[in-house]
Structure 1
Amino acid sequence: MLTREFCAENMTFVPAAVAAGAARVELCDNFAVGGTTPSYGVIRAAVTHARETGTAVMCMVRPRGGDFEYTATEAAVMRDDLLMAKRLGVDGVVFGCLRDGRLDRELTAELVRLAHEPSAEAPRGVAVTFHMAFDALSSADQLEAIDWLAEQGVERILTHGGPAGTPIADNLERLRACVERAAGRLTILPGGGITWENAEDVAAALGVSEVHGTKIVRVA
C-alpha cells in the first residue's frame, strides 16, 4: 500500500486531499518561499481533522524562506515552534538545518531530541522528517548525512534527488543511491514532481512505499 503524503499550504485542500486518499499531510505555509511554519490555528484545525479521519499530520518548522542556515535567534524560534506543534498534537515535524553548506549537526540533534522527547501531549514523542535542505548538500555529504541522521533516529528524509525544478525522472538514479544507503534505517521520501499520475511508477522504480507532493492525490 503506497502512503501518499499531501503537502498543504493551509487547510483549504486538506479535507479533499484526505478524501482522495492522502494518508499523511505535511502542513506548512508560504509555498512561494518553499514553505514555512504554519500558524497555531491552522495546525490545530489540521490535527482536529486528522483525528476524525485517521490521518497523520507532519508540521513544517522553518522560520523563514531562503537558505537553511539559521541564526541563534532563528534557532530559538524553531525550538518554540516545534514544541508548540507538539503540544497541538501533530504526529511529526519537518525541518532541515545546515551550517557552512554542510549538515548542522548541533542544531539538528537538539531539534531531534526535542521532537522525540516524551511529553504529556506526546508520550512517545513525534517523528522527524529532514526536509529538502538535504538536496543542498554535496553528493558525498548526502550519503554521510543519511548515516548520521539514521543514528539520531530521524524517521525520514524528504528529497527530490536533484536540483529543484528538475524532472523527477532525471533523479531516479540518485534517489536509488539514497534508498540503498539508507538500507531501511530510515525512509527516503521522494518528492517534487511526483503527482497522482506518476506516483505508483516512481515508487515502483525506487522500491519505496511513501511519496510526497502537492498533487500526490487527485483533488478536484
Structure 2
Amino acid sequence: MAKVSILYPIFRNQQDVLRDLKTIHNQTEKDVDLLVLDQRSGKNKDSKSRVLQLFPKVNWIEKQFKNIAEMMNFGFSRAASDLLIYMPPNIGLKPNLVQAYSDAFQSSGMPGMIFADYAEVLPDGKIEEKRLRDYDGDITERGNFGYVKGYSLKAAKAVGYYDEQFNRAEEYDFRLKLSEHHDLIRVPDVRYDVFISPEKASEKMSVGASKLFYPGEGK
C-alpha cells in the first residue's frame, strides 16, 4: 500500500499544471499514489502527455464532477493509502509540506486525524497549526492559504464520505463525525478554529453545524 495518496484537481482555467506536479513529485518518496482529476473534458492533452512522460506512474483521470463533494468521494474511493492529502492547484508549496504531513500522520497514532487547513511546516519537520487570525503566510511560497487538507481514509469511509449535496455546513458535519475516531478534532472555519472533544461534537451536532462558529469560540 502507498504511504500517502495525493488528490490534485485540475480546473478549467488552471495554469502551471506541470510545474505544480513537479513540485509535488519532488517532495515525496516513491511510495506515493498521485491522483490527477482533470475536469477540462480532454482539453489538456499537451499537459497530460508531458506529465505522463515525466511521471509515468501518475494516475491521470479525465472526469467531470458535479461538485466538490462528488470529486472528494471519487478521490476517497480511488486512493491507495490510508492518508489522502487534498492538494489544490497553484498554491506554491513549500518543499517539505507533503513529507511533513505524511510523517505527522504516520506518527500520530490517531487514525482519524485531520491536519490543519492553515499550518506552518517548521524547520524540524513538525506541523504547527495556526488559527486563521494568526496566519502569517508561511504555508506557501506566495502566502496563499491553499486549503491543504489531510484525511484518514479509514475514518472517512466509516462516516460515509461527504454528502452529495455538499455545502460548508455539511463539511462541518463530516468533520464532526470524524471526531468519533480520535480524542480531539480541529474543525476549521473561514474565520475561527474550534477545538472540540467527541462529547462536545455530539452536543454541537444536535443543534446543527450552523450554530458552531461564533466570534470567540475555540479560544
What's the TM-score, normalizing by structure 2? 0.27
Rg larger for: 2
What's the TM-score, normalizing by structure 1? 0.27
